[in-house]
């Protein structure tokens, strides 16, 4: 029923964000996805904002073969950047995960995943009708993946299902504790059993240097709106042969009456899956990302500084790897929880106090723990944040 009044529709007009302009933003899912602070990037995006804007010069019916704008080049450069054979731009890392899992396994099959994987890994497996077996982790405080259990898990799957697991899936950087998991160790075990190894680089590719081949990845997935300074939804599905051939298989369906067929379209990405402005945002961000990953060691150094200084305040304990290897960090914060119990604003005091001090990104209402990212922050900002926490705790 299209009887919307103009006055009612006003709520969809003049909507502005202004978080990045007005706050120091520590939100862990937002830190790596800020587009470059470069007017040229914005101009490219605005120029390609209309629907199928990338298809002006499409000659073959495939996004990854378009020459103008250089989307074909972008694909080969992205593959090179990640050191993998093949890549496709897809609408998000979750779509990449599902495509790979769906292509490599049949309903009823079992795959092995690390127990700190993102929820989209579980959902991708569930959607594909698979069973999952988790690699345990050591729990608090380190949350280390127990790689040594992998051999036993593979044997158990073989015993219980009469076939090996179809895939071993490792999250490169855990979304919760920011641990850098050991891809090389995992891929070695996977390959000892001839099982394909998928590395989810949602929080690594675009932040830090990642060579898929060096790490032994057969398949990789990336989240560009999480870690590649790109608008959402954007992701990468990367694969090496022979798995690339399976994952990027062309359509074979034929219309029973019409005899129509679509042999140049890839099934798992449903043809061209990321046309338009998002691909152009990735393209415009690429030179910037190529440059920024070179300075990853500085980001790690800042994260370690921040962790140490925050812990020095007392009552704040960084979980996960120490020294830390990533900008995503989770702290247990009993000292803040104690304050919240006596504070008139209860659990919301932290969010509100930080907001007041122009610091953004902690979950409202939560004080028992603190999850944040230091990515892209200046040392000056980090010092200011530590000062704010110090005041909060000591006042």
- 371 forms part of the interface with a second copy (CB under 8 A): no
Residue 368 structure tokens: 């028992």
Within positions 60 to 79, which residues make up the interface with a second copy, using CB under 8 A?
Answer: 69-70, 73-74, 77
- 18 forms part of the interface with a second copy (CB under 8 A): yes
Single out the residue of 62, 161, 188, 276 in contact with a second copy (rule: CB under 8 A): 276
Single out the residue of 62, 72, 134, 334 in contact with a second copy (rule: CB under 8 A): 134
Least Å distance, CB 306 to a second copy, is 21
Count of residues binding a second copy (CB under 8 A)?
A: 110
- 344 forms part of the interface with a second copy (CB under 8 A): no
- 339 forms part of the interface with a second copy (CB under 8 A): no
φ and ψ at 393, to 5 degrees? Answer: -75, -35
Least Å distance, CB 230 to a second copy, is 7
Question: d(Cα 24, Cα 209) in Å, to the nearest integer?
Answer: 26
Q: Which is nearer to a second copy, 262 or 384 (CB)?
A: 262
- 14 forms part of the interface with a second copy (CB under 8 A): yes
Kindly indicate which of the ranges 135-143, 307-315, 322-330, 375-383 contains the residues binding a second copy, using the contact rule CB under 8 A: 135-143
Half-sphere exposure of 202 (CA within 13 A, CB side): 30
Single out the residue of 246, 251, 381, 390 in contact with a second copy (rule: CB under 8 A): 251
Binding to a second copy by CB under 8 A, coded x per residue (else -) over 136-175, reads: xx--------------------------------------
> Angle CA(175)–CA(224)–CA(42) in degrees, nearest 5?
135
Kindly indicate which of the ranges 23-31, 193-201, 311-319, 333-341 contains the residues binding a second copy, using the contact rule CB under 8 A: 23-31
Say how many Å lie between the first and final Cα of the chain, rounded: 56
b/e code 127-138 from CB counts within 10 Å (16+ = b): ebebbbbbbebe
Within positions 208 to 247, which residues make up the interface with a second copy, using CB under 8 A?
Answer: 209, 211, 225-226, 229-233
27-31: long-range contacts, CB 8 A cutoff, minimum separation 24: 27/360, 27/361, 27/372, 27/373, 28/175, 28/328, 28/361, 28/371, 28/372, 28/373, 29/175, 29/226, 30/361, 30/373, 31/327, 31/373, 31/374, 31/375, 31/376
Q: Which is nearer to a second copy, 54 or 340 (CB)?
A: 54
Single out the residue of 48, 177, 306, 317 in contact with a second copy (rule: CB under 8 A): 48
b/e code 184-200 from CB counts within 10 Å (16+ = b): ebbbebbeeeebbbbbb
ω into 331 cis (within 30 of 0): no
Decide: helix, strand or coil at residue 93.
Answer: helix
Question: d(Cα 378, Cα 380) in Å, to the nearest integer?
Answer: 5
Using CA atoms, how far residue 239 sits from 25, 94, 118, 164, in Å, is: 34, 15, 20, 21
Single out the residue of 22, 51, 138, 322 in contact with a second copy (rule: CB under 8 A): 51
Using CA atoms, how far residue 157 sits from 107, 112, 169, 282, in Å, is: 15, 9, 14, 39
- 355 forms part of the interface with a second copy (CB under 8 A): no
Least Å distance, CB 129 to a second copy, is 9
Q: Which is nearer to a second copy, 115 or 144 (CB)?
A: 115
Least Å distance, CB 393 to a second copy, is 26
- 7 forms part of the interface with a second copy (CB under 8 A): no
Single out the residue of 174, 216, 275, 320 in contact with a second copy (rule: CB under 8 A): 275
Single out the residue of 22, 46, 346, 352 in contact with a second copy (rule: CB under 8 A): 46
């Amino acid at each position: 029923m299209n009887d919307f009044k103009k006055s009612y529709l006003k709520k969809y007009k003049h909507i502005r964000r202004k978080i990045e302009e007005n706050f120091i933003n520590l939100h862990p899912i937002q830190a790596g996805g800020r587009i470059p602070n470069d007017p040229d990037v914005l101009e490219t995006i605005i120029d390609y904002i209309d629907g199928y804007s990338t298809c002006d010069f499409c000659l073959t019916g495939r996004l990854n073969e378009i020459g103008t704008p250089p989307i074909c080049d972008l694909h080969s450069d992205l593959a090179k950047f990640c050191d993998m054979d093949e890549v496709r731009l897809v609408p998000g890392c979750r779509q990449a995960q599902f495509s790979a899992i769906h292509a490599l396994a049949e309903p009823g099959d079992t795959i092995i995943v690390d127990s700190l994987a993102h929820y989209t890994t579980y959902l991708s497996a569930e959607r594909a009708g698979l069973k999952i077996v988790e690699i345990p982790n050591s729990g608090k405080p380190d949350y280390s993946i127990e790689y040594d259990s992998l051999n036993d898990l593979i044997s158990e799957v073989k015993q219980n299902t009469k076939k090996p697991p179809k895939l071993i899936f490792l999250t490169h950087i855990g979304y919760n504790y920011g641990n850098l998991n050991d891809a090389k160790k995992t891929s070695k075990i996977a390959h000892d059993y001839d099982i394909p190894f998928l590395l989810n680089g949602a929080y690594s590719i675009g932040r830090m240097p990642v060579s898929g081949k060096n790490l032994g990845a057969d398949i990789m997935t990336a989240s560009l709106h999480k870690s590649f300074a790109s608008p959402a939804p954007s992701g990468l599905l990367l694969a090496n042969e022979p798995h690339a051939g399976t994952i990027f298989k062309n359509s074979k369906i034929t219309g029973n009456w019409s005899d129509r067929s679509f042999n140049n379209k890839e099934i798992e990405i449903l043809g061209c899956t990321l046309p338009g402005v998002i691909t152009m945002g990735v393209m415009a961000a690429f030179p910037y990302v190529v440059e920024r990953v070179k300075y990853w060691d500085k980001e790690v150094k800042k994260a370690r500084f921040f962790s140490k200084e925050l812990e020095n305040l007392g009552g704040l304990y960084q979980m996960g790897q120490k020294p830390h290897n990533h900008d995503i960090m989770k702290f247990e914060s009993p000292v803040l929880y104690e304050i919240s119990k006596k504070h008139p604003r209860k659990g919301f005091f932290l969010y509100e106090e930080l907001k007041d001090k122009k610091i953004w990104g902690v979950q409202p209402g939560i004080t028992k723990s603190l999850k944040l990212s230091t990515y892209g922050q200046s040392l000056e900002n980090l010092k200011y944040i530590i000062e704010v926490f110090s005041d909060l705790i000591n006042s």
